[in-house]
Amino acid sequence: MIKVDLTGKNAVVTGATRGIGLGVAKALAASGAKVACIGTNEEKLNESVADIVAEGGDAKAYVCNVADSAAVTEVSKTILADFGKVDVLVNNAGITRDMLMRRITDDMWNDVINVNLTGTFLVTRAFVESMRKSKWGRIINISSISGLIGNKGQANYSASKAGVIGFTRTVSKELGNRNITVNAICPGFVDTDMTRVLQPIYIQEITSRIPVGRIGTPEDIANAVLFFASPDSSFITGQILTVDGGLIM
């Protein structure tokens, strides 16, 4: 893990129950930040927070569906009451409903767009005023290489992640004058619960197209988040960083 001092900073991480979100929450806490972990599975969320605390970090669990506007409004009020302010926001929550485009139902499309894209908007809107008042903030959105190049069977997911990229670039222009940076990270193939369900032969095929010779880890993505969250990244905004080991598509 890269060394970043976030002592005195408060962070919010959505989708913090597992995978990339949990890795990010742990890295932020290990760097000194107090972390509000948002997720929908209360049991797993509490386990994640317990892990962070056991490792010496400071974290608290908040159950919320980021696609629910009213729920986001309420949880943001609770977090701000508990923390006082929010300095770092990591919009990581995301789902997939993979299927060839012609077979994607309305519900499959809407579910993915609502969580991955609308959720990013709702959570950002809920916390941005705290950053504006402080005249300091770091917003890091987790997109995907699928949002850059597309991926067969993921029309809904790719569209949502491409939307996150457009959202990132636009909001960076709106908030730069308040010393708030907004950047996005596009992970490639990462070892998470979402990818472990794939057939080993498919994982081997993907790995063969990664020049560094391995698939990514949540820690690889967390390191990129730490860089964007650090005070030293103050002149970097509106950027889209691909973290994929050089994946050849």
Helix (H, G, I), strand (E, B) or coil at 164: helix
DSSP letter at 118 equals I
Quote helix, strand, coil % in the chain, to nearest 5: 50, 15, 30
Q: Which of 227, 220, 184, 231 is nearest to 3 (CA)?
A: 227
DSSP 186-205: EE-SB-SHHHHTS-HHHHHH
Q: Rounded CA gap, 65 and 93, in Å? A: 9
Q: Rounded CA gap, 16 and 225, in Å? A: 14
Q: Rounded CA gap, 205 and 38, in Å? A: 34
The answer to whether residues 9 and 33 touch, using CB atoms and an 8 Å cutoff, is yes
157 catalytic residue (yes or no): yes
Residue identified by tokens 């597992």 is 18
Q: Which helix (H) or strand (E) holds 243?
A: strand 240-243
Instruction: Return all residues near 200 (Cβ < 8 A) that are at least 6 apart.
Output: none
Give the active site residue among 127, 157, 167, 228: 157
The answer to whether residues 222 and 23 touch, using CB atoms and an 8 Å cutoff, is yes
Residues tagged active-site: 157
